[in-house]
Structure 1
Amino acid sequence: MKPAVPPSPPVSAVRGEIVHFLADPAHHAHALEHFADGVLVVRDGHVAECGPAAELLPRLPAGTPLADHRGRLILPGFVDTHVHYPQTDIIASHGEQLLEWLEKYTFPAEQRFADPAHAAEVAGFFCDELLRNGTTTAAAFATVHPASVDALFEAAQARRMRMITGKVLMDRNCPDFLRDSAETGYAASKALIERWHDRGRLLYAVTPRFAPTSTPAQMRLAGQLFREHPGVFLQSHLAENRAEVAWVAQLHPEARSYLDVYAHAGQLGMRAVFAHCLWLDDADRRRMAEAGAAMSFCPTSNLFLGSGLFDLRRAHELGVRVGLGTDVGGGTSFSMLQTLNEAYKVLQLGGQSLSAAGAFHLATLGGAHSLYLDDRIGNFMPGKEADFVVLDPRATPLLARRSAACATLEERLFALMVLGDDRAVAATHVMGTPAWRRPGP
C-alpha cells in the first residue's frame, strides 16, 4: 500500500500563473480570475489567500515554505464525475459497443475483484493514475463486491483524495458470479454507508449499474437507501446507447422514458449523477434540472463505443448540472486534458463550440458544482480544500512551440487541452501537500 501522504505544514505557499473560476464563464463576464504572477497561500490544508505575488509575498510569515512554479499554470485539481476503477485493466480493449463491451470485457474483469488483494492493488494504481493526471476528486464505480469499495476508499484515504464510490447493484441480466439480490445489495450498501460515508473526504454513492441490471425491487431499495441517508450520492448510467434505450423500453413498458424508470424508483434528486445522457428529450432534461440531478459528459467513451454525441448546449439552456467524466475503461484516457480535447471535437460535430475557459471550468468548478461540492472544492476561494494541479506549457516540444506563439490566456489554455496530456502535469497537490511530482530536475 502507498504510504500515507504526510500532513502539510501549517502554512505554505505556491507561486506561479494562477487560473481559477469564480462562476461559469458562459454566464458571467468576469468568471475567470487570472494572476500572471500569483501566490496561493495554504493554511492547514485549506486556501487562506490567493492573489498577486507582489501583494502576498511580503505578507508571508518568515520561513514559510514556498514552491516556485513560475512559468507554469496553477489550477484547481480536476474533478472526474464518472469513472470505473475496476476497468483500469481493460482500457484500450478493441471494438464493441456498450452491451457487447459489458459482456466481453467488463463483467470478466470485475469478477476478479472478489479477491481483496487484487482490489487493493488496482485501487492503489487507479488513485496514483488519477493524481498523475491532475485529478484530485472522482466519482468512481467499484464492483458488486463490498471489498472493492473498501479497497478504493482505503487507497483514497491514504492519499487524502476526495473520493465518491459505492458497491454496484445488479440482480438480473448479468453473470451469476456478479449477481446479488435486492435484499443483500441493500444490506451490504447500508453497511458500507455506515462504515465510510463522510469519513474525512470520503463520500458514498448508491450505485445501481443501470436499469437493465436491477429488478424493480432492487431499484426501489436503491432509491430507499438514497432517501434514508441524507448526503449520500447516487450514480448510474442513462441513455448511453440506442440499443440500451430500446432494451429499457422493453423491460419497462410502463415508463414514459429511461429517466422515468429512475424517477419512479426514487433515484432522481440532488447528488444523483447519471453518466452519458445522450438519447434524452427536453422533457427529461427539464426533469433532471428541476430535480437537481447531474449529467456526466464522457466524450472519449462516447466516441470509443460509438454511442453518440452529447448536447451540452441544450443541457445548459435547460439548467442541468453537468460535469466531465473520463469513463475509463470505455473512456480512453485518465487525462482530463485529453478528455477536454475530445469534448471539443464532440461538440464541434454537434454544431457547438467549447471555449477553453468553458472547458477548464467544466473540469474544475463546473464538476464540483455538478456534485454539490463547490462549497469545498473547485476554485481558490478562502476556506476551500487546497487541491491543485500544476500544468507545464513547455512539457513537450510541440506544446512549447505552440504556447510560445499564443497571444492570449485563452489561446494558451486551448493549446494545453488539445496538445496536453499526462506529460503536461508537473505536480498535483492534495490539501496543499504534494501528492505527485513529475520526475526530473
Structure 2
Amino acid sequence: MSISPTGAPPGDGSPGAGRRGTRELVRRLFHAPHPPAPLFAGSPGRWLRLLPYPAVLALTSVFVPVTIQVLVNDYGVPGGIAGALAVGQAAPMLMLVHRPLRAWWIVFGTDVAGALVLLGLPEREGTIWPWTPPAMIGCLFVLLAVALREPRRVLTGVWLATGAAGLVLHLVAPGRSDGGALLLWVLGAVVLVIGAAVRERSEAQRRLVEQETISEAERARRTLLEERTRIARELHDVVAHHMSVITVQADSAPYRIGGLSEEARAEFASIAGSARESLSEMRRLLSVLRSDGAGGELAPQPGLGRLQQLVEATVRAGFPAELSLATEVRDAVERGDVPQTVDLSAYRIVQEALANAVRHAPGARTRVSVTASDGHLTILVVNDPPPQAGSPLEVSGTGHGLVGMRERVRLTGGTLDTGPLPDGGFRVAARLPLPPSRPPSASPAPEDL
C-alpha cells in the first residue's frame, strides 16, 4: 500500500485541492506510480494477505445477480441492458485487489450510464435515483479499496468527482432526485476517511518497525565497535608488557652475557630501539583509544585469578552463584602458562555471562565452571530459570552482551556456544585454545615473557 503524507484530506473541498486531486486522479489512471501489488501485501499474516481474493470474488458473485434483479424488478430495465449494467457495476470489483482506482473509474462510469438509462424510463414508486441501492453499496466498497491504496490527493479527486456527478444529475432532473446523490456523497466521505486512516496507521506502523530495525542494527554495530575498542585497549596493555620485557632484556644482555662481539651488541641495541619505537607508537594509539577519559581502564587487567572475587561480588549483590575452578587451571594460572589474552578474555566472558543472568533471570542460581583439557580452556556458565514468574530487570534481551563474548572468542581463535536450556535456563559455553604446556624445568620462551 502506498501513502502520501501530503495533500488535502478526503473531505477538503477547496478548489485548489480539487484541481490537484483531479489531475492526480487522471494521471494515476493511465500511469500508476506503484506496481500492481495486492492489498495487504505487506501484512505479516498469510491469511490476511490472501483475504482480499475471496472477498472480491464473493462481492462480485453477490452484486451481479442482485443488481440485475433490482434493475429488472424494481426499475423495469430490460434484461439485456440490466445485465450489461450489472456487469459494469459489479465485475470491476475483481480488480480491487490490484487496481482499485481503475475499478472505480469503470464502476463510476457505469453508475452514471445507469442513471441516464433510468432517467429514460418511467419513474416507479419506492425507488431512488440517480443511484440504485446495489450501485450505491457497491460504490462504497470500491471507495474503501481505493482509500486503502491511494494517497489523499487521489481520494479528494474521487470524492469530488462522485459529488459532482451526483450534482449534475440532480440539476438535470431535480424533480426525480430524492437525495440519493447527497447520501452517496456523505457516505463516501466517511468511507474514504476511515480507509485513509487505516492505511496511514498501517503505514506508520510499518515505518516504525523499519526504524526500530535500523536502530537495533545501529545499536548492535555501536556495541560491536565499543567492545572492539575495549579489546584494543586491553590488548595494548598485554602487548606493552611483553615489549617492555623485550626492551629490558635487550638493553641488559651485553651486561649479563660476557664475551659478546660488537655485531651482537649492535644487534641487541637495534632490538631495544625497535621495541622502544613500538612502545611509543602504542602509547600514541592508546591516547586515542582512551580519549573518552575512562580512568578505570588504567587499572590492571583482571584474569582467571580474580574469578572468585567476581563470583563473591555477585553473591553479595543478592544473586546466588557458585564457582568451580579446576585444579589444573589454578596451577596453570600460578605458573603463568595461560596467555594474557586468554586469561583476560575468560574473565570478561564470565563477567558478561553473570551480568546477563542477573538482568534476565534475577534470583536464579548460576554455576560457573572453568576446566582445562586437550589444550583448551573450557568456560561454562549455566543459570537456572527464575525461581518465580516475576518481571526481569530487562524484559527482552537485545543480544548485545553476546557480541562482546563472540569478539573475545574470535580474538583468541576459540569457539562459543550459547542458547536456552529445556528447563528455561540459559547456557554460555566457550572454548579458548591454550599453548602446549612446558616442562617445569624448561626456561620460558621469549614470546611468553
Higher-Rg member (1/2): 2
**TM-score band (shorter)?**
under 0.3
Instruction: Answer 1 or 2: which has greater strand percent.
Output: 1
TM-score under structure 1 length normalisation: 0.22
Structure with greater helix share of residues: 2
Bigger relative contact order, structure 1 or 2 (CA pairs below 8 A, ≥6 apart): 1
